[in-house]
A and B are shown apart, each in its own frame.
Chain A
């Protein structure tokens, strides 16, 4: 008897973003049932696992890279994943997260955490901010892009359908707009 084909190992990750892309993923609704009949979700904010496992087939990475922690996780994911997907505008363009690049980081910290209300958060437990917020593909190689803020469920579904069948992600014109 033949072994059943191996189930696709899917991971999601949440870097510097609002988690809206994950919400939109949940909005796949009943389609999630179909998805998980042949796909295992092995890592991400939607499941319990704490460590990113080896041998992941597809990772949907939401959010831009804003801190050292984001960067380390992204590189970790890249090393353990076959297909890395920039998931949503923050991952693809930097989007709202990258708006801080228009101002000096120190000025922003001083404005957000004014001296009167305490002090600028600091400490070894806090990840260091990068000088610039960057989209994923400026740090690691990215295999596919799902733009959108957030990408609607139909886009996510179109991309996932291609990925599940081992095809290149080719979103239609109306499904690849930014914003």
Chain B
């Protein structure tokens, strides 16, 4: 396995050839924010929070999809990037009904934590106030579109790890929604195995266990993360 050297935030760091900038950064203690990426899932480049500035590139590049290569000069926290990231989180908060105080995932939500991390203490955009449906047809799980940020972790984990491909995205743009089985109620899905991987990986309160209230919402992510870790390793070897 060949090793490359690059500069990140003025520091020389080493990375494995083919590794993403996001991974390389993490291995050197530089945390680049992201809401859609999880090691072991196909990178999506959708949330745009992991954008970094790479010398020679006319515009910022997503760290999850940019491979580390020899001699790259990368900045991960410039003033412009920080402002873009804040605006992205504000846009997400304004897009759907992320009323944290009455959310099943309050206190353990990645969007909530990201807002705090990036210093978003208020939203400068107007909230959209558009009520979306809630699908509680599944016997154990609930899908609340009002909390969804369309990161598609559910779509990707269901397809690549569980192999069921129950989830996909329907409609487009601001009207996009994740749907099960060609837009059937989740409870009537014939492909869903009920494994719950999507629920474990959901960063917000969009997918939850129906019994979850308050502190019981802690999810059992550990074993799934181990699977994903192995997958990431295999993907990298294949690359």
Contacts and interface: CB of A to CB of B under 8 A. Distances in A.
A99 B122 contact: no
Contacts of A174: 116
A173 B121 contact: no
B216 interface: no
A89 B93 CA distance: 13
A177 B122 CA distance: 10
Nearest to A133: B129
B107 interface: yes
Given A176-B121, A177-B100, A101 B116 contact: no
A92 interface: yes
B112 A179 contact: yes
Contact of B101 (A86, A96, A138, A171): A96
Nearest to B117: A173
A16 B126 CA distance: 19
A171 B121 contact: yes
Nearest to A147: B121
A178 interface: yes
A147 B127 CA distance: 16
Contact of A102 (B93, B101, B109, B131): B131
A171 B120 CA distance: 11
B121 A89 contact: no
Given A95-B99, A147-B122, A178 B127 contact: no
Interface string A95-119: 1101101110000000000000000
Interface in A108-143: 132, 135, 137-138, 142
B115 interface: yes
Interface residues of B, number: 26
Contacts of A89: 100-101
B32 interface: no
Nearest to A175: B116
B149 interface: no
Contacts of B98: 178
Interface residues on A, range: 20 to 34
Contact of A94 (B107, B112, B121, B127): B127
Highest count of chain A CB atoms <10 Å: which of B93, B97, B116: B116
B180 interface: no
B106 interface: yes
A137 B125 CA distance: 10
A5 to B, nearest CB: 30
30 contacts: A86-B122, A89-B100, A92-B122, A93-B99, A93-B122, A94-B127, A98-B99, A98-B127, A99-B97, A102-B97, A102-B130, A102-B131, A138-B126, A142-B122, A145-B121, A147-B122, A149-B101, A173-B116, A174-B116, A176-B116, A176-B119, A176-B121, A177-B100, A177-B112, A177-B113, A178-B98, A178-B101, A178-B112, A179-B101, A179-B112
Q: Which 10 A-B residue pairs are closest in the complex by CB-CB distance?
A: A179-B100, A149-B101, A101-B129, A145-B121, A178-B100, A102-B131, A177-B116, A179-B106, A145-B122, A179-B101
Interface of A: 86, 89, 92-96, 98-99, 101-103, 132, 135, 137-138, 142, 145, 147, 149, 171, 173-174, 176-179
Interface of B: 93, 97-103, 106-107, 109, 112-113, 115-117, 119, 121-124, 126-127, 129-131
Given A101-B129, A102-B97, A171-B121, 17 more contacts: A86-B122, A93-B99, A93-B127, A99-B99, A99-B102, A102-B131, A138-B126, A149-B100, A173-B116, A176-B121, A177-B115, A177-B116, A178-B100, A178-B115, A179-B106, A179-B107, A179-B112
